[in-house]
Structure 1
């Protein structure tokens, strides 16, 4: 499990798919990203209720974050870091959450 054993960062960017994507009532999918050298990928979904779901996965685990859609200039920039079993996600520079991805004994 990459998250529990290593340290790393992956950044994923996507242009706006339409001028109204952030405010319309449509589902909008982003990603998945290309894998990091450690095999980590990022994907996101904008839900009709305005929430953004960010999924970060390695070969054996996935963590998910849901957050209200932050102010967006024109696209989406997601950065995820992991260290000692904790995965942290930033959307357009704003930290949206952190979760433990360490294996349960």
Structure 2
């Protein structure tokens, strides 16, 4: 299975590591998640600058998203979909970003 040659979706959740984790200026690691049935793993990092980095890896390709952290409730819900080379990130149910893999990965 590959992000470039198949389609699927995966959800990764994590509870809050501290009461004010989303705004406290500290660094937090979430994951990596257990692998999906297709072999996709997700990991997330909250950076001190308030950005959220999400890494999606299927063992062949990997995609990294880094965006400002949206307003969050107590925990973190990451959703990822992939459709033949297009990988889309959702954070707490809202579409956050999408990338298309380089054509060299689609061969």
TM-score class, shorter: over 0.9
Please name the residue that 1:19 is paired with: 19
**Structure 2: segments with no counterpart, 5+ residues:** none
Please name the residue that 2:53 is paired with: 53
Distance 2:75 2:54 in 1: 14
**Structure 1: segments with no counterpart, 5+ residues:** none
Could you list the runs of 4 or more consecutive aligned residues of structure 1 that deviate by over 3 angstroms after TM superposition?
A: none
Relative to the length of structure 2, the TM-score reads 0.93
Q: CA separation of 1:103/1:58 partners in 2, compared to 1, >3 Å: closer, same or farther? A: farther
Relative to the length of structure 1, the TM-score reads 0.95
RMSD (Å), alpha carbons: 1.2
Please name the residue that 2:90 is paired with: 90
Distance 2:102 2:2 in 1: 10
* Residue-pair matches, total: 105
Report if aligned partners of 1:86, 1:102 keep a CA contact under 8 Å in 2.
no
